[in-house]
Chain A
Amino acid sequence: MTTATATTPSRPGFKLDSLTQRYLFLILLIVIASVGFGIANENFYSLANIGILLRSIAVPFLLSMGMTFIMLTGGIDLSVGSNVAFSGGVGVVALTATGSAPIGFAAAVAAGMAIGAINGVFIGRLRLSAFMVTLATYALARGMALVIYNADSINVSDAAFLWLGGVSWGNMPVVIPFVALVFVALSVLLYKSTFGRDVYAAGSNINTAFVLGRRPERTLVWVYVLSGALAGLSAIITVGRVSSGQPWAGLYLEFDAITAVILGGTSLFGGRGRLLGTILGVLLYGIIINGLVLTGTNPYLQSLIKGMILLGVVLLDTLVQRRNAQ
């Protein structure tokens, strides 16, 4: 029963279901925020700024996508931020050693997947708490990044390696179509493949999924590997953006990714949520941060506003749903 409701997402009838409601609410907030920032600063709608905005949310976007898969299984991944630094370090070192950008790319993604595999095996196979395991790899990956870089940044000048994160076609950073492609691929994976149904099944009720032969223990391993691979891609983009590899790259990005996924209405307990919600969450987040940067706001005020948005959206949503239920 549980898996049946999870594998066929409920359709909106006469009454909008709560997820759709949340999406409409987020869209409304995004519109309000963009109109507000547009009035406050005429540069907000310039093509250049839109390019900057979209580029700045590329990395949080990729990480949040991976986090969505994980949170749909009821897990959490605190290691993604550290993993961005670690896999970036491996990629940069491989690039310097071989001089070949493809090998650098492959090394970065493989390194990200390796951290993901550690998480996945401990969480999926040994059934240990995701919070605890990824807390350990959070320290481990950051530490290895510091070791690789020897706590110092490494400049990268290889044009091919920097292409993905650094190059723009006119006002359009190449990373945007790339991220869009990743999104399409992940949507197919989540909504059109058996794996996607396994993800929902594992998150809805892991015991039922097990009894039904859906092998949730295997699904869990793969969602963490997926998240690691996306961290590897994010690392390549991050290095490309600043033309150097940095040991403190991605610090606390996991908190941002988790926030975006929660904003998007994905349940913390698994089994419920969609990628669309995460996109809206990342967009809202990105627009507000970008708007604030453009108006030159103190970074600490941004933290405060982040907290307020998160609490405000979740609180309003809960209150609305409770009123509807009555």
Chain B
Amino acid sequence: MPNFGRLLREKNIIFVTLALCVLFYLISPRFLSLDNMSAISRQIVPIGLIALGQYFVVVSGNIDLSMGMGSVLFAIVLGVFFGLTGGVALGIVAVIVCSLALGFFNGVLVAKLKLPAFIVTLAMLFSAQGLSGLIIPRGQQIFLMGDFFRFIGAGKFMGLYWSFLFLVALFVLAYVVYNHTRWGAYVIAIGNSEENARLAGIDVDRVKIGVFMFSALCSGLAGIVLSSRMGFVQPGLDGNGLLLDGIAAIIIGGTLILGGRGTIGGAFWGLLFIGVINNALNLLNVEDVWHQVFKGAVILAALGANWLLWQSRQVEAH
């Protein structure tokens, strides 16, 4: 089967993820139980939202480091509005407005002032972290209760979590936008060569600002989902961990960190990969202290395997 080798190379993340599932199933049959599958589907939603927003940013040749701490900040914005008014609607509107404003700000600095995205969003990471702790004092929590949070956090439709269905719908939408609209093509073109994109008449600045507004919106949504699931918000949440998981998901899914290349499907599989690992470490009663070791080693192994496959393609090409 000559095509199998090619399939393995190009879609290797699918095989790796499925192989891991089989492995974990053999270790603990509970891994593939319906309960656990749906637990995974719920756990990956915040990471998935970060990954999706980050995906367009990375493909456009930029990076958004503010997404993780942004989620924490937006969760707190939601919590504060909920605490003040007791209602949800105003909080959601506030999160959407604030996140779009942050994205617009990032985008303008990157596109119009030509500052590196890495620096701008690193500064925003610190600022969001700072603001989140200034709005609510350290160690204090705001509890989120009510139908809305229960619906987002644990609501199910035909056995599937609403939040997961929502994430899948967003991925499908992103797939269509990325592959079948002009805007998607512009993002790829900018990631390949900003200069060429400009010469081709693309309004580069506008697309870039749009990309950052989308990523910030995604981090706002991630903040809503995360806080609903936990039932409270507090400033000390590990936003950077969320950010790095999201980036790892899309890179493992084959997105080129330098921009210009990637597939939405790959990003989704990368997300499942991260979700499966995170879940299995808990399920298999791996001691907490080993989690990070395992995760780091698996990412390194995935990178190494990708390199080996890439090498074999080089050899074949000669």
Contacts and interface: CB of A to CB of B under 8 A. Distances in A.
Contacts of B288: 146, 151
A138 B119 CA distance: 20
Contacts of A150: 289
Interface residues of A, number: 45
Contacts of B132: 300
Contacts of A314: 115, 119-120, 123
Interface residues of B, number: 45
Nearest to B298: A136
B115 A310 contact: no
Given A136-B296, A143-B289, A298-B133, A310 B122 contact: yes
A243 to B, nearest CB: 23
Contacts of A146: 288-290, 292-293
Interface string B236-259: 000010001001100100000110
A300 B129 CA distance: 7
A133 B257 CA distance: 11
A315 B113 contact: yes
Interface stretch (A58-66, A98-106, A121-129, A215-223): A121-129
A302 to B, nearest CB: 7
A129 B119 CA distance: 18
B291 interface: yes
B300 interface: yes
B235 interface: yes
Contacts of B318: none
Interface string A279-318: 0000000000000000000111111111110110011001
A151 B292 CA distance: 12
Interface stretch (A10-18, A46-54, A195-203, A254-262): A254-262
B124 A307 contact: yes
- Majority secondary structure, A binding face: helix
A256 to B, nearest CB: 9
Nearest to B297: A140
A259 B123 CA distance: 8
Given A140-B296, A304-B131, A304-B134, A311 B244 contact: no
A132 interface: yes
Given A300-B134, A315-B115, A137 B124 contact: no
Contact of B293 (A122, A128, A147): A147
A139 B126 contact: no
A301 B304 contact: no
B119 A300 contact: no
Interface hub of A131, A139, A144 (most chain B Cβ within 10 A): A139
Contacts, number: 145
Contacts of A252: 240
Interface hub of B126, B138, B303 (most chain A Cβ within 10 A): B126
B225 to A, nearest CB: 23
A142 interface: yes
Interface string B48-62: 000000000000000
A146 B258 CA distance: 32
Given A122-B303, A147-B289, A315 B130 contact: no
A143 B290 contact: yes
A275 interface: no
13 contacts: A128-B303, A135-B299, A139-B299, A140-B296, A142-B292, A146-B290, A146-B292, A300-B129, A303-B130, A303-B133, A304-B127, A304-B131, A307-B126
Interface of B: 109, 113-116, 118-120, 122-134, 138, 235, 240, 244, 247-248, 251, 257-258, 288-297, 299-300, 303-304, 307
Given A300-B133, A307-B123, 11 more contacts: A126-B303, A129-B257, A258-B122, A262-B119, A300-B131, A302-B130, A307-B124, A307-B128, A311-B109, A315-B115, A318-B113
